[in-house]
Amino acid sequence: MAATTASDTLKRTPLYALHVALGAKIVPFAGYEMPVQYPMGILNEHLHTRSAAGLFDVSHMGQIRLTAKPGRNAAVALERLVPGDIAGLKPGQMRYTQFTNDQGGILDDLMVTSTGDHLLLVVNAACKDADLAHIRRHLSDDVEIEPMFARGLLALQGPAAVDVLAAHAPQVRGMTFMTGSFVMIGGAECYVTRSGYTGCDGFEISTPADACESIARLLLADARAKPIGLGARDSLRLEAGLCLYGHDIDTTTTPVEAGLVWSIGKDRRAKGGFPGDQIIIRQIAGGPPRRRVGLRPEGRTIAREGTEIVDTGGAVLGKVTSGGFGPSLNGPLAMGYVDRAHAATGTKLALWCAAGRCRPRSWPCRSSSTPTGGADLMRTVPLPARQSVASARAMWRPHLEWQFAFPSGQRTPWRQ
Amino acid sequence: MATVKYTDEHEWISVDNGVGTVGITDYAQEQLGDVVFVEVPDVGRSVAKGEAIAVVESVKAASDIYAPVSGEVVAANGALADAPGDVNLEPMGKGWFFRIRLADPKELDGLMDQAKYEAFVKSLA
């Protein structure tokens, strides 16, 4: 009997052939064969995105369209599942929110855009089937639910993204942050939002499946745009302090613990009406038991996911949920949860660095026979609670304290 | 003429006049991805064959580097602190980690020559 290999069950996005042609290293991710890096390498892909433009294939993410049934209101219905202010979205506006469970935990985080006629949802790849079932179970009486999982989704990110895209669709110059619009690109009707997951200015472009590759090629024909893999996507979002579902947030973390209160509508905090509302409202008022914090190790050693965070006496306070090297920061950075008493900015913490625990092996090695336990010092730094952008020319500049500085402009909730 | 040997942990050692220069192989740097930090041992440290002696951090993971032979560390590549990417660019050149004075040259006999190492790498694919 033939063995079933992982690749038998892995799916491919419309850009798979292009990734291979561009020399990508392909890895399994959320059930898809995805490019983790191209020959340029993760460091240079990251820096290129910060200085020019990067094109990401995010077609594995789930796109779902909701349309109100006659006499119903799709936004009001969706608010039964999320704490965000969805009913207040004007046509063309976009918002970040979360599906919560009855304990106030996060089932998934998502972007919601109103087109006026529909709500367009973008959910995480690994959660999309569960999200679809969740929506069907709760909202079928109110909305038509249309999964659009075959569509392409491209992210064009970086300070040059607007110039690269405007060469084909000049009207995107007029779009403001966290808004969406139907746009023709290369003869195909796309839905474009000015948003992203990198801390840079940029766009996400929802394309018909059969137009995805030609649009990607069109954008990559511009020398300023380079293909960027999942590796740099991760380091970019980590520097921006943005949560990765399944790591920094999951069913056991509430939006309050995760520092996402900014994404909860004012009216919704007062009235509730979403799963886990009592717990979440109580945590907003009285403080959560633990908080997500940014962490800056003082040396060069990288604090990776799962590393325990301890106080100076060695007592465990929490653990790192994402950690790595920040190429723009040129140093290690991480985020994780610590109990509330240790969450204040500037708190000195340590990362427990026992051999074989925070230093996972990347190629087959024997395990170390002489564990050399030790604590590397680090301290908490503020997470960017929300990001601000200048209307069109957002520039990314890291501060010493891992803050974000944009020249000026409106402060708008960002995807966290 | 230097003798170059390889370990199954993907380190190389190039021995000349009883002193071996140690680094990681091209296969290892390729597997690691972009190297962002290297911790090299202190000069003067005595190490036993197989002892974890250095650490290499890449964008993907951290890995220990083991002493391929016993001996005393006589030099460390301090330039890697500012240019860890040299490990990717020239893993067998300016990306070297440390130099070690061999306590027992016979230990080299247990390591792979280039042909054997290349066959070993092929078997991992």
**Assigned token pair, A245:** 């579902």
Give residue A106's region: left, alpha or beta (phi > 0; psi -120 to 50).
Answer: beta
Q: What total number of domains does chain B contain? A: 1
Question: CA B6 to CA A408: how far, in whole Å?
Answer: 56
Q: What is the mean pLDDT of residues B68-92?
A: 96
pLDDT of residue A120: 98
What residue of B is the nearest CA neighbor of A304?
Answer: B61
Length of chain A: 416
Length of chain B: 125
Residues A166 and A299 in one domain: no
Please report which helix (H) or strand (E) contains residue B64, including its range. Answer: strand B62-66
Query: Does any CB of chain B come closer than 8 Å to the CB of residue A43?
Result: yes
pLDDT of residue A21: 98
CB contact under 8 A, B37 and A42: no
Q: Contact, B23 vs B91, CB < 8 A?
A: yes
Judge whether A356 lies within some domain. yes
Judge whether A51 lies within some domain. yes
What are the distances in angstroms from CA A343 to CA A49, A240, A243, A295? 31, 19, 17, 10
Residues A41 and A189 in one domain: yes
Residues 3-22 on B with a CB inside 8 Å of A are: 9-10
Q: Contact, A192 vs A205, CB < 8 A?
A: yes
Q: What is the mean pLDDT of residues A5-21?
A: 87
pLDDT of residue A6: 52
Judge whether A115 lies within some domain. no
Burial classification of residue A87, based on how many CB atoms lie within 10 Å of its CB (0-12 exposed, 13-18 middle, 19 or more buried): middle
pLDDT of residue A389: 38
**A28-A161-A220 Cα angle (round to 5):** 60
HEC-encoded secondary structure of A6-69:
HHHHCECCCCHHHHHHCCCEEEEECCEEEEEECCCCHHHHHHHHHHCEEEEECCCCEEEEEEEC
| pLDDT for A90 beyond 70 | yes
Judge whether A314 lies within some domain. yes
pLDDT of residue A249: 96
Residues of B in contact with A327 (CB under 8 A): 36, 59
DSSP per-residue codes, A282-295: HHHHH--SEEEEEE
Q: Contact, B99 vs B44, CB < 8 A?
A: no
Q: Contact, A269 vs A276, CB < 8 A?
A: no
Place of tokens 């633990």: A290
Q: Contact, A168 vs A365, CB < 8 A?
A: no
| pLDDT for A53 beyond 50 | yes
Q: What is the mean pLDDT of residues A154-169?
A: 97
Judge whether A357 lies within some domain. yes
What are the distances in angstroms from CA A321 to CA A249, A334, A336, A367, B45? 9, 8, 5, 24, 35
Residue pLDDT, tens place only, A314-339: 788 899 999 999 998 888 888 999 99
Residues of B in contact with A332 (CB under 8 A): 37
Q: Which residues pair with B39 in a beta bridge?
A: B55
Place of tokens 């100076």: A312
| pLDDT for A253 beyond 80 | yes
Query: Does any CB of chain A come closer than 8 Å to the CB of residue B85?
Result: yes
| pLDDT for A8 beyond 80 | no
State how beta strands A106-114 and A180-185 pair.
unpaired
Give the list of residues 6+ apart from residue A188 with CB closer than 8 angstroms, or none: A207, A208, A211, A214, A215
Question: CA A86 to CA A157: how far, in whole Å?
Answer: 26
CATH code: domain of residue B72: 2.40.50.100
pLDDT of residue B74: 98
Judge whether A205 lies within some domain. yes
CB contact under 8 A, B37 and A37: no
Residues A205 and A354 in one domain: no
| pLDDT for B122 beyond 90 | yes
| pLDDT for A346 beyond 80 | no
What residue numbers bound the domain in which A187 lies?
Answer: 9-59+151-239
Residues A230 and A293 in one domain: no
Q: What total number of domains does chain A contain? A: 2
Residues A156 and A52 in one domain: yes
Residues A317 and A217 in one domain: no
ipTM comes to 0.79
Judge whether A38 lies within some domain. yes
Residues A298 and A376 in one domain: yes
Q: Of A387, A408, A397, nearest to A197 (Cα)?
A: A387
Residue pLDDT, tens place only, A347-384: 888 776 543 333 332 222 222 222 233 345 666 665 54
CB contact under 8 A, B9 and A37: no
CATH code: domain of residue A175: 3.30.1360.120
pLDDT of residue A353: 55
CATH code: domain of residue A362: 2.40.30.110
The SS3 call for residue A131 is helix
CB atoms within 10 A of CB B85: 17
What residue numbers bound the domain in which B106 lies?
Answer: 3-124
User: How far does Cα A383 stand from its chain's mean position?
Assistant: 14
Judge whether A367 lies within some domain. yes
CB contact under 8 A, B64 and A361: yes
